[in-house]
Amino acid sequence: MMFRYTILTALCVAASSASAGDLTALQGGTVDLGSFHGVVYYTEANGGYRVVTTMAAGEEGLPVRLVTTLTEGQAFVVSVPGDTEGLSQAVEISRAEGKLVVAKVESTQ
């Protein structure tokens, strides 16, 4: 179990400090959604971008990895539950014009 935390920590250290914006292949970026923190990176595979997002809730939370392959024009959203007011937080990861773009999106209920 400690190995998982070591991997997540290493990825966070290797990631750039930008939490949103354009990423290039193998360049990590951070994702911060409330108490959930992690990294996102991609590699080129089978004509698409193989996107890997790893997140955990604090230091004690079990890391979760989301993996998908995006082709040009595709996107997916990662969201986390909201607080007592019911607002969740989300980030959209999309492929546009040959780039991977990570951007926060409006909070939802």
* Nearest residue to 83 (alpha-carbon basis) of 64, 60, 109, 102: 109
The rounded percent of the chain whose pLDDT value lies above 70 is: 74
Q: What is the pLDDT of residues 56-105, one digit of tens each?
A: 998 888 999 999 999 999 999 998 887 666 688 899 999 998 889 999 88
* Nearest residue to 32 (alpha-carbon basis) of 90, 95, 106, 84: 90
Segment (H or E) for 107: strand 99-108
Side-chain half-sphere exposure of 53, counting CA atoms within 13 A: 24
Mean pLDDT value across residues 41-52: 91
Q: Which band of pLDDT confidence, cut at 50, 70 and 90, is reported for residue 107?
A: low
pTM of the model: 0.74
